[in-house]
Structure 1
Amino acid sequence: MPLPLYLLAMAVFAMGTSEFMLAGLLPDIAADLGVTVGTAGTLTSAFALGMVIGAPLMAALARNWPRRSSLLGFVLAFATAHVVGALTTSFPVLFATRVVAALANAGFLAVALTAAAALVPSTYKGRALAVLLSGTTVATVVGVPGGSVLGTLLGWRSAFWAVAVLCLPATVGILKGIPAGRVHTEATGQPRLRAEFAQLTRPPLMLVLVLGALVNAATFGGFTFLAPVVTGTAGLGAWWIPVALVLFGTGSFAGVTVAGRLSDQRPGQVVAVCGPLLLIGWPTLAALAHEPIVLLPLVFALGALSFALGSTLITRVLYEAADAPTMAGSYATTALNIGAVVGPLLAATTLSTGAGRVGPLWASGLLIAITLLIALPLRPVLTPDRNTEVLP
């Protein structure tokens, strides 16, 4: 894989760290800026909403720009938002920087997904996306706990400065490794925006987008409420929470890495294997969460299976949206973030039921069941063209 791809992954790592690190910084932010913790929590909602809206909006605005200019503009805007956030003493200004950062993140990821696929031969899209998305999985392993520790030691502003600094290697990779020209030559032409949006009417593309949103909803529904399961249901100490989160993140990294070698040629098999295992895994975790010796290995396994399945579906989006070269990445980004927003909201409704703390885990299992009910009868759609070159 080319070096610029790994530097793009560094930017994705910084952005993933920023997206998730607020969970450990909200009390300090609230105290410093004179707001309630609940008010500070709206920073997370602002970022999520900005990601959902920003992906298609930013991709549409940047579609006529060269990819290098787009990526560079987005990463610099993201870094600048964090510098302003680190300096401000006003909560409304900090809120605004989170919206700007989310828009830049969404735009960067939408363009980076297609740029990453363009850096490698057409039959290596899955492997390229595995490298790019490893930035997010590494963020859950290292970046999020690291940001929390940094905030505890040096204050929450230091975490914002660290994210800004992490963007610097990506700017080098963009300048050195991404071609300065436009996406298409004049000879081939670029599809009209209306034609690219028309691709959304294609059933195979809509199928993989819906499946991707459902899988991500299941993943983040269970992941978001993992902490109370660890300390409450399993009865472990608070310091076991980061251990569980690291296990989930390590599993997700493993899942993306393995799926990267399978998603180009064998996506149907990945769905057929990971889907049923997740259908068994989430309810098993809910039923046996009171046993730490079962809880922790299952957390790792569910992280691996969830991200293997999710990254495979992202790869299929890019294949199915090949005739929407400037918007395909935004479609995938929007679908995944819809899942990331809706999943925790649905999971939260189960906390007040008889299921209690493990309700979100049952909800994740239900979402996977819905995914399989849709996917398995239509599995041929997830099978790549038989004429596609088979990798060695």
Structure 2
Amino acid sequence: MNTTSPAPEHATAFAEQKARLPIVTLVLLAVIGFVLITMETLPAGLLPVIADGLNTSEVSVGLLVSAYALGTVIVTIPAISLTRSLRRKPLLLAAIAGLITANTLTAISNDLVLALSSRFIAGAFSGIIWGMLAAYGLKISPQNRAGRALAIVSAGAPMGFALGTPLGSWLGTALDWRWAFIALSLLALIASVALALVAPDAAGQDSQSGRERMPVVRVFRLPGVAITLAVIFAWMLASNTVYTYLTPYLRTSDGSLHVDMQLFIFGVSSVAGIALVGALLDRHPRLLLHGSLVVFTAAAVTLLVGHASTPAIIIATVLWGVTFGGAPAQLQAALTTSGGRDSDVANSFLPVAFNVAIFVAGILGAALLAGLDGLALPIVMIVFGLIAFALTIVGRRTAFSAPQAS
């Protein structure tokens, strides 16, 4: 009498189920990524109306972005390190609940100090979530479709940049800035309820065989982790220096292309980049990364030499958007693979590197524009694009291989 082996037809059905991508859960994780990026950048598009609502200056309102980034930078790594033994689904839902609470406090705040404090807390929860998304998506996906799973999960970030922030700015200007924040809380709430209903659970990083935790510093020193973080910083600094100051750049053109149209082109192209990476990441990760940075740098050169031509700017924006849209999946895949069983901790470095790059890009762009025109910005994009490309060549022996499910 056999009581341990399932019937052949049941075993086949189970194997087929394991081979399928959990599409709904992966899309919901992408929605959360969309919320995180939109939530972070939203104040930049609503500076005047938030300043009026809080009876303060636009410069002070700009600190809402800095406070969010600071919370992410300070809290992410220690939080992920301390919680890596916990099961993923309950931790993710708890972090989303904290994010919703903090963001709602920002929406109802009438005081700048309270708003800054709630933004710092929201950034902290955002960092925890970012540190989990990629590894969680891989844990619940079949190994031979890891790249496609990462492409789906990573789609939320470029969509937030391209569509979330402009839509949030429109809503906040048309109605009231508070409604833009409330809308993000509602979207996150809907997504979290859906995740609670359909998402499979996954084990924490340290629940296998009583394995001793690897210290955070040793995770950072794992082959491939540091070089990947350097690529992230250089690539995101190159991109965000121009993205943050598109209006000053467009003043050097013939004036026929408006910033909202350029952002729309960038957004559509980012979606194409996500699809391209999803199709190629599992098979050609290194070639894809090298090619993406070559095209990214070519886009920057086109922005510089073709600034007087609207068609040239459009072509450059398409190339820029395609490469940026596919960047998060490639970089998360590299960190996840390099981190191995400590991939959650390795991925917790990503939002830190990303937010430091955003912070530095804002300062660098402002400093350049104080004495130069907008053409200085694509020069920065070229220089740091080349640095990122060189780093991928240097690190090809230890990083940027095909992603593996944990």
- TM-score, normalised to structure 1, is 0.91
CA–CA separation in structure 2 for the residues paired with 1:374 and 1:112: 25
Corresponding residue for residue 267 of structure 1: 285
Corresponding residue for residue 61 of structure 1: 82
Aligned with 1:261: secondary structure?
Answer: helix
Asked whether 1:281 is paired with 2:281, we answer no
Aligned with 2:255: secondary structure?
Answer: coil
Which among 220, 225, 232 is matched to residue 205 of structure 1?
225
Corresponding residue for residue 80 of structure 1: 101
> Structure 1 residue 192: deviation in Å?
0.9
Deviations 1:203-259 (A, max 9, x none): 4221112112211111111211112222x112426x821111121122222212211
Check the 8 A contact 2:86/2:203 in 1, yes or no.
yes
Deviations 1:301-330 (A, max 9, x none): 112113324431221110010131431220
Q: 1:291 to 1:184 in 2, by over 3 A?
A: closer
What are the within-5 Å matches in structure 2 for residues 47-126 of structure 1?
47-126=68-147
Which among 200, 211, 220 is matched to residue 240 of structure 2?
220
What are the within-5 Å matches in structure 2 for residues 26-41 of structure 1?
26-41=47-62
Corresponding residue for residue 234 of structure 1: 253
Residue type of the partner of 1:369?
L
Check the 8 A contact 1:252/1:305 in 2, yes or no.
yes
Corresponding residue for residue 44 of structure 1: 65
> Structure 1 residue 126: deviation in Å?
2.1
Q: 1:189 to 1:166 in 2, by over 3 A?
A: same
What are the within-5 Å matches in structure 2 for residues 358-369 of structure 1?
358-369=375-386
Deviations 1:55-112 (A, max 9, x none): 2132123223221121111111111112211212111111111111111111111112
CA–CA separation in structure 2 for the residues paired with 1:127 and 1:328: 20
> Structure 1 residue 383: deviation in Å?
5.4
CA–CA separation in structure 2 for the residues paired with 1:309 and 1:16: 15
Residue type of the partner of 2:39?
S
Q: 1:353 to 1:373 in 2, by over 3 A?
A: farther
Deviations 1:16-58 (A, max 9, x none): 2111221221111111111111111111111122222232132
CA–CA separation in structure 2 for the residues paired with 1:271 and 1:301: 14
What are the within-5 Å matches in structure 2 for residues 322-337 of structure 1?
322-337=340-355
Residue type of the partner of 1:291?
S
Check the 8 A contact 1:221/1:363 in 2, yes or no.
yes
Aligned with 2:48: secondary structure?
Answer: helix
Corresponding residue for residue 145 of structure 1: 166
Which among 126, 129, 133 is matched to residue 150 of structure 2?
129
Check the 8 A contact 2:48/2:58 in 1, yes or no.
yes
Corresponding residue for residue 258 of structure 1: 276
> Structure 1 residue 190: deviation in Å?
4.4
> Structure 1 residue 171: deviation in Å?
1.2
Aligned with 1:70: secondary structure?
Answer: helix
CA–CA separation in structure 1 for the residues paired with 2:214 and 2:49: 44
Corresponding residue for residue 379 of structure 1: 396
Q: 1:58 to 1:288 in 2, by over 3 A?
A: same
CA–CA separation in structure 2 for the residues paired with 1:271 and 1:187: 32
Task: Give 5+ residue unaligned stretches, structure 2.
Answer: 1-20
Check the 8 A contact 2:85/2:207 in 1, yes or no.
no
CA–CA separation in structure 2 for the residues paired with 1:57 and 1:184: 15
Deviations 1:176-197 (A, max 9, x none): 3444564268552344142x54
CA–CA separation in structure 2 for the residues paired with 1:170 and 1:242: 28
Corresponding residue for residue 204 of structure 2: 183
RMSD of aligned Cα (Å): 2.3
When structure 1 is superposed on structure 2, of 203-212 and 152-161 the one drifting more is 203-212
- TM-score, normalised to structure 2, is 0.88
CA–CA separation in structure 2 for the residues paired with 1:225 and 1:186: 45
**Residues matched between the structures, number:** 384
> Structure 1 residue 120: deviation in Å?
0.5
Residue type of the partner of 1:149?
W
When structure 1 is superposed on structure 2, of 182-191 and 130-139 the one drifting more is 182-191
What are the within-5 Å matches in structure 2 for residues 282-321 of structure 1?
282-321=300-339
- When Rg is computed on C-alpha atoms for both structures, the one with the higher figure is 2
When structure 1 is superposed on structure 2, of 326-335 and 151-160 the one drifting more is 326-335
CA–CA separation in structure 2 for the residues paired with 1:99 and 1:295: 36
Check the 8 A contact 1:265/1:384 in 2, yes or no.
no
Check the 8 A contact 1:222/1:344 in 2, yes or no.
no
When structure 1 is superposed on structure 2, of 145-154 and 339-348 the one drifting more is 339-348
Deviations 1:107-148 (A, max 9, x none): 111112211111112232221121112112222232211111
Percent of aligned pairs with the same residue? 24
Corresponding residue for residue 20 of structure 1: 41
When structure 1 is superposed on structure 2, of 275-284 and 361-370 the one drifting more is 275-284
Q: 1:287 to 1:101 in 2, by over 3 A?
A: same
